[in-house]
Every structure is written in structure tokens, then in C-alpha cells.
Amino acid sequence: MSLILLTILFLFNILVMNVMLFFPLRILRSLYPSPWLFIIAFGLVFVWCFGDD
């Protein structure tokens, strides 16, 4: 159950990453030194919130 949940979150994270790279890349550059920092932090939040199961 947990493995399925983590797989869905991983695929969702890839989808969000692609959307963020294609659409608001300029906005992320103005907010953060690199958009990858926000993407990595977003992934870590998902792992931290749902990795306990």
C-alpha cells in the first residue's frame, strides 16, 4: 500500500516538475536562484509527509 502511494507521488512529482519547467520557469528564476531547488524541496516535502507509512 505504501509502495503504491509512493509510486503515485513520484509520478505526480515528475508531472509537477514538467509543468513547472515548461510554464513558470521565469517566475521561479525570479523567486529562487534555481528552479531545481524548489523542485527538490517539493519532492522532499512529499517524502517527509507520506514516507512514514
pLDDT band at 12 (very low <50, low <70, confident <90, very high): confident
Q: How many domains does the chain have?
A: 1
Could you say which DSSP state residue 11 is in?
H
pTM over 0.85: no
Q: What is the pLDDT of residue 14?
A: 82
User: Distances in Å between the alpha carbon of 8 and those of 16, 35, 38, 46, 48?
Assistant: 12, 22, 20, 11, 15
Q: Domain range spanning residue 40?
A: 2-50
Span 6-29, average pLDDT? 75
Tens-place pLDDT, residues 25-46: 666 666 655 667 777 878 888 8
**Which is nearest to 13 in space by CA: 52, 50, 32?**
50
Looking at residue 32, its pLDDT comes to 59
